[in-house]
Amino acid sequence: MIKVGSKVKLNMPAIQKLTDAAVTALEQTAEALHTEVVQEQVVPRDTGLLQGEAFFVDTSESKGGKISLVHSTPYARKLYFHPEYHFQKDENPNAKGKWFDDWLEGGKYEDFCKKAFAQLYRRVAGL
């Protein structure tokens, strides 16, 4: 009978660096998505509040792997879930309800976040 042994030593500083890079890349991906949504001019716009300071990235849970894009106006939900409304197109010619659908599965930009995260993670982690 042959005895075989092995020992694994984890490089905890390197693991922490990669973990921190993933959190940073997640936050930057959310910021990139935020910018992309604004530039695509899909958010209904009247006074600019819904797309301006009331639209932001919440990174409070990023260490747990969760990021939220938030519209903090009381009417955002109503506008989002009613695509049948006739939105003004003076300021944002692509304004519509369910304006995030293009970035969800099946949308024309569905790979945007996946690709952005991969690129940002490689850069931040130094890979």
What is the tens place of the pLDDT at every residue in 74-107?
899 999 999 888 898 999 999 999 999 999 999 9
Residue 94 CA to chain centroid, in angstroms? Answer: 20
Question: Which residue spans within 1-127 are E strands per DSSP?
Answer: 55-58, 68-71
Q: What is the pLDDT of residues 17-42, one digit of tens each?
A: 999 999 999 999 999 999 999 999 99
Task: Say what the pTM is.
Answer: 0.88
DSSP 52: T
CA dihedral 68, 74, 78, 83 (to 10 degrees): -60
Supply 92's token pair: 């944002």
Supply 79's token pair: 């506008």
Greatest alpha-carbon span in the chain: 81
CB–CB of 26/55 below 8 Å? Answer: no
